[in-house]
Amino acid sequence: MEKLIFVYNAQSGKLNALMDSMHKVLSPSTYDCKLCELTFGLLQENKTWREFRDSLDVDTEFLHRDEFQKTYASKFGHKFEYPIILGQTAKGLEVVVSKPELNKIQSTGELIEKLKNRI
């Protein structure tokens, strides 16, 4: 695997980040980005996640939905449900962890274990 691509179900930009943080606090049951929830606290990246991410021996890229669509979706012609974790290989993009799988994960540790088993 050449690269892991993490795609958040959120739009890029500071205002959108602020709105997402407020949504997580005010209405967590309707917040639709499990990847955000597992990897970020209210204002900063989860420490356990950051340490795992820094230890990876594979390149990583973290994108918001609009950034991913601009950079990758048109190139590879795929339509995905977000959030999603993809692997870029010589053959193209492969799903590493799908949205339904992410939605079942209950903790950052569980996400880390799933990734360790798949990469």
User: What's the pTM?
Assistant: 0.84
Contacts of 13 (CB under 8 A, 6+ apart): none
Q: What are the residue boundaries of the structural domains of the chain, listed by start?
A: 3-118
Dihedrals phi, psi of 42, to nearest 5 degrees: -65, -45
Q: Which of 87, 102, 81, 86 is nearest to 36 (CA)?
A: 102
In a structure prediction context, what are the per-residue pLDDT tens digits for the chain, which is 119 residues long?
899 999 999 877 665 555 555 545 555 555 567 898 889 876 778 899 999 999 999 999 999 888 998 888 766 656 789 999 999 999 888 999 999 999 999 999 999 999 999 98
Sole residue written with tokens 């360790």: 116
